[in-house]
Amino acid sequence: EYAHSLGLRFGLWVEPERTNLSLVGAPGVAESWLATEGDQLGSDHSGQICLANAAARQWLMDRLTALVDEVRPDYLKWDNNMFVNCDRDGHGHGRTDGNFAHTSVLYDMLAQLRAQYPDLLIENVSGGGNRLDVGMLRFTDVAWMDDRTAPSVHVRHNLQGLGTVFPPAYLLSFVTDHDTEPLHESPDLALYFRSR
């Protein structure tokens, strides 16, 4: 409410597919929901919730929509920094197609969010541009290209390559202070903005 009273939009940054392992076993968070690859979780402190597991998916969607209903953000930044190609039994996928099943369900979840919150802007971000695909383009408004948003030459390189597949307006980066491109007393601030 305060952000809106100032004429601003409010954004929320979430990473719903990952959980801290200390929360596993808490009400509603089952260990059997976690993605494994070769019986390994992929981290000693966090786990990826396999979206192909129907119970996990429903639990996650219920929590996410409750959060959006309570907070009422204008913008949702959906991040993901864990990549486990789940081969666990009982998740509704085979031994080799866990990532495909996970991503297919992710599309369905984003479609549900779109239907339920048509004015919500959704950003696709995944450790930089690790989840840039044309499927995500259908369900998200913008995509974070890269965690490296400077120098300008690096950002232009990303834009030129990704712009052959994605609309340039879909590709997001920030103008940030960099040792070779300072924002204060900048020699060419207009260039920094044009490059992004």
Helix (H) or strand (E) holding 115: helix 98-116
Measured CA to CA, the distance from residue 68 to residue 75 in angstroms comes to: 10
Residues near 109 by Cβ (< 8 Å), separated by ≥ 6?
Answer: 51, 57, 60, 61, 64
Query: Which is the catalytic residue, given 62, 69, 147, 188?
Result: 147
69 is catalytic: no
Specify whether the CB–CB gap between 120 and 74 falls below 8 A: yes
Looking at 74, 79, 97, 133, which residue is catalytic?
Answer: 79
Residue closest to 41 by CA, chosen among 88, 79, 78, 97: 88
Q: Yes or no: say if 56 and 9 are a contact pair by the CB < 8 Å rule.
A: no
Say whether 188 is catalytic. Answer: no
CB atoms within 10 A of CB 23: 12
Active site residues: 79, 147
